[in-house]
Each structure stands twice: as C-alpha cells, then as structure tokens.
C-alpha cells in the first residue's frame, strides 16, 4: 500500500499515531498535576523500563497534557557526557520564557528571572546561554551557592510560589535519569523533597532504565517514598492490536485476525517492534485487509531493519571482550542471569570479567536488576545474539 500514507512510526521518541495501553499512566499524570495545582501532597511519577518500550513518548505526552493544563514545561535528556546542572539551566531558561509571557504579577516574574540568572551563573553557564537571555542581574544569595540541592531547591520554591499565585504550575520532564550521575541525582532528589514538603506546583518527573528506582534510592534513601515509580512494560491485552489497527483504521484499512496474531508473536507487545513490523506489512500489502500472508512476506524485512537499526549499532559499541560477555549471557537465558554463571561460561573468575560487565553497563547495553545479576536493556537481545554466527568463548 502507499508508503507515503504509512502511519507507523518506528523510532526513538517518535510519537506513535495511536498511544496504546497507557491510559492508566496518562490518568495518573493528570491527577498528579491537578493535585499539585491545588496544593495537595503528591508523589512525582518516575517511569522505568527497557529500551523501546515507550517511556520517552509517554514523557512527551505528559508534557502536552501539562501544557494543555496551562503549565510551563521543559524536557531534558540526561547524558553521561553532559553536566546536568547546565541542562537544568537550559530547562529553567525555557520555563522562565514561558512564565514571562503569561504571569500577571510581573514583579514576581522579574524576581524569578534574577533568581534564574543566579542559578545559571552558579552552574557556570556562559552569559550567552543564560544571563544575557534574561538580561538581568542575578539575585545575590539565592540559588547561587554552587550546590545543586540548595540552588535547585531555592529556585523551584520561588517558581512554585509564583506558579501557585497564578493558579498554575511548572514541570521539568527528565529522560534517561540513570545517566545523570549519582552526585547530580542526589541534588535533584533533595531539591524535589524540599519542594514537595511545601506542596508547591513545581515538579520534576522522569524516566529511565529498569535500574532507575535503585539509582534514585542510592542517591537519597528516601527517594522511593518520594516518587511514584511505575514500570512501563510491553503492551498487554488488546493494546498491541489497537496500536496496529487504530492508525490504519483511521485510513480505512483493516487487518485480518490471523495477521494480528502473527504480529503478537513477532513483537511480543514491545512498541518499537510493533511499529516496525506493522510498517513493513503495510508497505508489502497490495490491498486491505492486511493478512498473515502479508506479515509473512514483510517480517524478514522488518527483522533485517531491526537488526540494522536497533541491535547491531548497540552490539558494535561493545569491545570484543564485552561481546564475549554478552554472548555468554545469551547462551544462559533470555532474561536475567547470575554474573557468577557468566564467568563460569567464560571459564574466568568473576573478578576477571567485572570490567566487561561495568563497560556494558556504562554503554547502556546491560543493567544489574539486583546485586549479582545482569540483564539486557533491550528486549529480544539474547535472540539477536544467538542468531549471529557461533561464538567462541
Ligand atoms: N503505547 C504505545 N503505543 C504504540 N506505539 C508506541 C507506544 N509507546 C511507544 N511506541 C512506539 O515505540 C517506539 C519506542 O518508543 P520510545 O518512547 O522511544 O521508547 P523508550 O523511550 O522506552 O526507549 C516509538 O517508535 C514509538 O512510536
Ligand atoms: Mg527513550
């Protein structure tokens, strides 16, 4: 069928034409901001899940919901090679621009801009990025200590007070939280705690790999009570079918039941795989309804695309020794495996291969669900590894 009209959206953070199976998480977010806006106690949401499961598109949808509710919003993605303080500085700049346009109390806005400038100066941001954008003098003694927890806390309190006065709110959505670094996260969590104690509508919500809950608790022990940690998993029940049928239905195209069941086997509910397989089946089909026969023809092409775009680039990032480590994991199980078993397969002592494990964790290819265990961050990675030519350990 016409590839120009193909509605599917495989990609990283590419909004799907139909966001299936996440109504509970959308409702939870709407409740969160509505409660925060009237000063009720809240637990900011944090999403945790594997790559390709749909965390980023949920964050983006949350952002739209907040914007529709009239909130000021900013979205950032933590990176191991970036300074979170500077990224927060950018987010604050973004939010203050929105606030400057909409708030009635311009005196408050002026003060917020001065506090924002203090924060930016303390992050070491260059004047062109921060100070000049506001064209104001920093407010001495507020948000300028150089300690993230204090500075972000003071800034969010000022922002939250101003937002409350205007009967609105402000929110920063922080993706890839696990990459922010322990020191930064500790500051971030401390600042969230402070704003939460005062019941102000200035929130930080986030998303990260399955380790995100533990990473946050290690940063501050009270983090697990502070945040509402939600696991984002594969789509369940009818949701996978809906992710496929709704976008096509809007264009008058249907699927046969056996096509949908073939998709279920191929994608296992993982949104990135769903979008890829549905996209290829659409292109292959000559006419609707799209059948299991179309899916059969399309799936080798879809799998080849997945190898090239999803699995191989990750595999290629690993060193030869790290690859051997992953092959050993894949030979043991689809799911989490004990690091002691991996070492055994490699005929090495555990301490001898911990450097490979750490390397893979740093590259975001594996994570440690618990002490002594490792698992892939990417669904179906073990099957991909096993499909490669046999590997010598
Ligand atoms: N609920 C959903 N329904 C349909 N497609 C989805 C859904 N969530 C995500 N997708 C699709 O899955 C892919 C991966 O989403 P993304 O948010 O980048 O995942 P993550 O951030 O968890 O790695 C994108 O192509 C997106 O369009
Ligand atoms: Mg993402």
Atom of ligand 1 nearest to the CA of 14: 27
Q: What are phi and psi of 38, to 5 degrees?
A: -100, 10
Q: Which helix (H) or strand (E) holds 23?
A: helix 23-37
Region of poorest pLDDT, from 34-48, 126-140, 170-184, 188-202 = 126-140
CA 182 – CA 177 distance, rounded (Å): 10
Q: What is the per-residue burial (b if ≥16 Cβ within 10 Å, else e) of 322-348?
A: bbbbbbbbbbbeeebbebebbbebbeb
Distance between Cα 307 and ligand 2 center (Å): 18
Percent of the chain at pLDDT > 90 equals 84
Model confidence pTM above 0.85: yes
Region of poorest pLDDT, from 41-55, 140-154, 284-298, 344-358 = 140-154
> Does pLDDT of 130 surpass 50?
no
What average pLDDT does this structure show over 333-355? Answer: 94
> Does pLDDT of 132 surpass 70?
no
> Does pLDDT of 235 surpass 70?
yes
Q: How far is Cα of residue 230 from the mean position of the Cα atoms in its chain? A: 12
Encode pLDDT of 7-33 as tens digits: 999 999 999 999 999 999 999 999 999
pLDDT in the model for residue 277: 97
Query: Of the ligands numbered here, which is closest to the C-alpha atom of 242?
Result: 1
Tokens for 382, please give them. 């073990």
CA 42 – CA 30 distance, rounded (Å): 12
What average pLDDT does this structure show over 104-121? Answer: 92
Query: Of the ligands numbered here, which is closest to the C-alpha atom of 77?
Result: 2
Beta strands in 136-240, from DSSP E residues, in sequence order:
170-175, 202-208, 228-231
> Does pLDDT of 215 surpass 80?
yes
What average pLDDT does this structure show over 169-193? Answer: 95
Coil/strand/helix, residue 271: helix
Coil/strand/helix, residue 149: helix
Q: What are phi and psi of 45, to 5 degrees?
A: -80, 140
8-state DSSP, 255: B
Which ranges in 250-380 belong to alpha helices (H)?
A: 257-267, 271-284, 292-306, 312-317, 320-332, 339-345, 350-362
What average pLDDT does this structure show over 254-281? Answer: 96
- pLDDT band, residue 131 (cuts 50/70/90): very low
Q: Are strands 72-77 and 170-175 parallel, antiparallel or unpaired?
A: parallel
- pLDDT band, residue 124 (cuts 50/70/90): confident
Q: How far is Cα of residue 162 from the mean position of the Cα atoms in its chain? A: 29
Tokens for 377, please give them. 């961050």
Ligand 1: lining residues by beta carbon, under 6 Å = 9-14, 16, 19-22, 49, 51-57, 243, 271-272, 275
Distance between Cα 9 and ligand 1 center (Å): 8
> Does pLDDT of 127 surpass 50?
no
8-state DSSP, 371: T
Coil/strand/helix, residue 261: helix
What average pLDDT does this structure show over 53-70? Answer: 98
pLDDT in the model for residue 190: 95
Q: Between 120 and 356, whose confidence is greater?
A: 356
CA 37 – CA 41 distance, rounded (Å): 10
Average pLDDT, the chain: 93
Q: What are phi and psi of 143, to 5 degrees?
A: 55, 25
Asked if omega into 50 is within 30° of 0 (cis), the reply is no
Per-residue CA distances from 118 to 108, 140, 271 (Å) = 15, 7, 42
Distance between Cα 101 and ligand 2 center (Å): 30
pLDDT in the model for residue 122: 83
């Amino acid at each position: 069928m016409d590839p120009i009209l193909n509605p599917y959206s495989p990609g990283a953070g590419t909004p799907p034409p139909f966001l299936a199976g996440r109504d509970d998480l959308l409702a939870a977010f709407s409740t969160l901001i509505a409660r925060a806006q009237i000063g009720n106690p809240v637990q900011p949401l944090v999403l945790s899940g594997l790559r390709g499961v749909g965390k980023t598109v949920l964050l983006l949808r949350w952002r739209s919901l907040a914007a529709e509710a009239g909130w000021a919003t900013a979205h950032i993605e933590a990176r191991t090679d970036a300074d979170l303080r500077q990224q927060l500085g950018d987010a604050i700049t973004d939010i203050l621009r929105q606030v400057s346009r909409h708030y009635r109390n311009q005196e408050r806005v002026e003060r917020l801009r001065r506090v924002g400038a203090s924060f930016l100066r303390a992050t070491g941001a260059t004047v062109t990025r921060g100070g000049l954008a506001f064209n104001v003098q920093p407010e001495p003694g507020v948000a300028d200590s150089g300690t993230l927890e204090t500075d972000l806390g003071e800034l969010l309190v000022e922002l939250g007070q101003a937002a409350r006065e205007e009967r609105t709110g402000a929110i920063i959505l922080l993706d890839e939280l696990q990459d922010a670094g322990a020191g930064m996260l500790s500051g971030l969590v401390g600042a969230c705690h402070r704003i939460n104690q005062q019941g102000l509508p200035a929130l930080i919500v986030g998303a990260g790999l399955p380790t995100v809950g533990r990473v946050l608790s290690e940063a501050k022990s009270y983090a697990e009570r502070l945040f509402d940690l939600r696991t984002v998993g594969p789509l369940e029940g009818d949701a996978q079918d809906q992710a496929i049928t709704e976008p096509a239905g809007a264009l008058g195209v249907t699927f046969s039941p056996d096509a949908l069941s073939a998709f279920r086997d191929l994608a296992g509910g993982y949104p990135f795989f769903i979008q890829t397989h549905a996209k290829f089946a659409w292109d292959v089909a000559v006419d609707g309804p799209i059948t299991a026969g179309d899916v059969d023809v399309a799936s080798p092409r879809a799998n080849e695309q997945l190898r090239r775009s999803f699995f191989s680039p990750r595999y290629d990032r690993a060193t030869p020794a790290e690859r051997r480590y992953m092959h050993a994991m894949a030979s043991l199980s689809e799911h989490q495996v004990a690091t002691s078993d991996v070492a055994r397969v490699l005929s090495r002592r555990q301490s001898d291969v911990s450097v490979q494990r750490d390397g893979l964790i740093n590259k975001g290819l594996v994570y440690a669900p618990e002490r002594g265990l490792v698992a892939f961050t990417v669904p179906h990675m073990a099957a991909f590894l096993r499909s490669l030519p046999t590997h010598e350990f």
